[in-house]
Amino acid sequence: MSQPFASSPPSVRLVSLSDRPFEHAVAAARTCYSGRGVVTADEVSGVGLPPDKQQQRQDLRDRIAHSTFRAGHHTTLQHGFAQFALDGVSRQFVWSFLHAHPFYNSEQTSQRYVEVKPGRVAVPALPDAARRVFQQAVERQMADYHALAELLEPVAAQTYFAVFPARAKDPQKWRQPVQRRAQEVARYVLPVATHTSLVHTVNILTVLRYRRLCLQPDTPREARFVVDRMAELLFEADPLLRQLDVEPLEPIAQVTELVGDPQRHRQRIHAFDAELAGRTSVLIDRFAHNERRVADAVREVLGVLPTELDDAAAIAKVLDPQDNPLLADPLANVSHQKLGRALHAAHYAFRKRLSHAADSQDQRHRMTPAARPSVHAFLSPEPDFVTPGLVTQAGPQAVARYTESMQRTWTAIAELQALGVDAEWRAYLLPNAVALRFTETADLAALRHKHWMRLCFNAQEEIWQASVDEAQAIAEVEPNIGRYLLPPCAARHLAGIRPYCTEGDRFCGVKVWLQDRAAWRRSV
């Protein structure tokens, strides 16, 4: 499709591709019915055979590929992988499309640690008047970003050196972590149109599925542009795969836009926030007998009776790092071990409110899926945003600059709406701080791993708070499980594995492993 931006177009490069993915997929399919062992790609393509025999093999190859693909036997295509280098794509596209499913791996430039440079923003190809509004708003957001970073640095330094008083003797040496903390919070005013770069690896089936996913009603035109380029690069590298790019379907009908009804929007978010009652995440549902389910699964693995191993002891076998040291293994082997799979027996559901910035990291936990909002559900008619704690700590001047930035952004969005700009492009102007509300579900295995990563005091502030809320809520109703939902240092302490903190020079400065959950407080 045509370039959807007035700014530089997204760059898409195919960095690497599995050798002959189409023929290896067919070889894998034929292996299922082979009495001679593994079938090779050379065999399915007829390498070394006379031309007539070779053509017969290739005809058979193509028939097998089509029949298995159309019958839904897609695992054969998952043996092939493509690695793409993407640059100049928006964070809105990454959040709404590339990372909105579990079947990928990405390594992305971090706004927490890398300063955003001017001009690194996707500007849509809008009519002149609308483009000026968009561009001026982006320039104000970038100015607010730099101004806030300066306003926040003194309080970031104050809190940092309160935790590490010895480092205050040489503040210049430790300026980088202070700047990064200020920068991490200042990024909340940046638009979700801000550019990012990433390495994105997916199997061949996922690339083909991307083409179908572009039919969703709120798929950004940027997604269609990037996906078309990804698919073309794939087909150029292995033309045989083009056979599987099946006929297009009609796009899914667009949902009714509700952003023009402020009262309805206010009612919806008021009801949601009332349930949160000031928390970031609230437990809304769970299996009625999670502890018994996990305990039974453990006993079934071990082949023992309840009279030989009660529920608390059974749960400890799988969740207590003293009994199960693999819990403290950096390789995260919990779901791979037999005992660990008992944790899949327990399930939970949470309602959450996170900023776009925080949720862009939260969604990377692909085994804790959420029903995230479409563009029409979070493109609010009035300012609706999350304020990080450091902004409040920095005082009235920082709060005023932050709040004014939000108000100016929503004013610009309203101007774009008055000029007839689609919701898709108006959403690109929303700040990283925009509030997202959704329901997230997880089994205990995935949730425990997430808490292992996000209860660390170095985790992003909002995700850390959500994880604390969740661990505390579970501990109140399921104490035999909740007591083991711990940050990595506390789990390693229980297992007796040193060092307790694995963050090295990024140590948060707090001996969390010696604290009760009720005493957890973050200042940095």
Domain segments of the chain: what residues?
Answer: 11-108+196-244, 128-193+373-433, 285-353+436-519
Strand, coil or helix: 426: helix
33: Cβ–Cβ under 8 A, 6 or more apart, which residues?
none
Single pTM value for the model = 0.94
Helix segments in 164-289, DSSP class H: 175-186, 204-213, 221-237, 262-276
pLDDT value for 132: 97
**Residue 172, burial from CB neighbour count under 10 angstroms (0-12, 13-18, 19+):** exposed
pLDDT (tens digit, 9 = 90+) per residue, 479-499?
A: 999 999 999 999 999 999 999
CATH code of the domain made up of 11-108+196-244: 3.30.1360.170
191: Cβ–Cβ under 8 A, 6 or more apart, which residues?
121, 137, 138, 141, 409, 428, 429, 430, 431, 432
The strand order across the sheet containing 105-108 reads 11-17, 81-90, 195-203, 105-108
Encoded tokens for 334: 């919990």
478-510 in b/e burial notation, b at 16+ Cβ within 10 A? bebbbbbbbbbbbbbbbbebeebbeeeeebbeb
**DSSP string spanning 44-82?**
HHTTTS-HHHHHHHHHHHHHHHHHHHHTT--GGGGG-EE
432: phi then psi, degrees, rounded to nearest 5: -55, -25
pLDDT (tens digit, 9 = 90+) per residue, 60-115?
A: 999 999 999 999 999 999 999 999 999 999 999 999 999 999 999 999 999 888 99
> What crossing angle do the helices spanning 221-237 and 204-213 adopt, rounded to 10°?
150
Q: How many CB atoms lie within 10 A of CB 266?
A: 14
Proportion of the chain above pLDDT 90, given as a percent = 87
Residue 327: band (very low, low, confident or very high) from pLDDT cuts 50, 70, 90 = confident
pLDDT (tens digit, 9 = 90+) per residue, 368-401?
A: 999 999 887 888 899 999 999 999 999 999 999 9
**DSSP string spanning 314-379?**
HHHHHH-TTT-GGGG-TT--GGGSTTGGGGGG-EEEEEEEEEHHHHHHHTT-TTS-B-PPPHHHH-
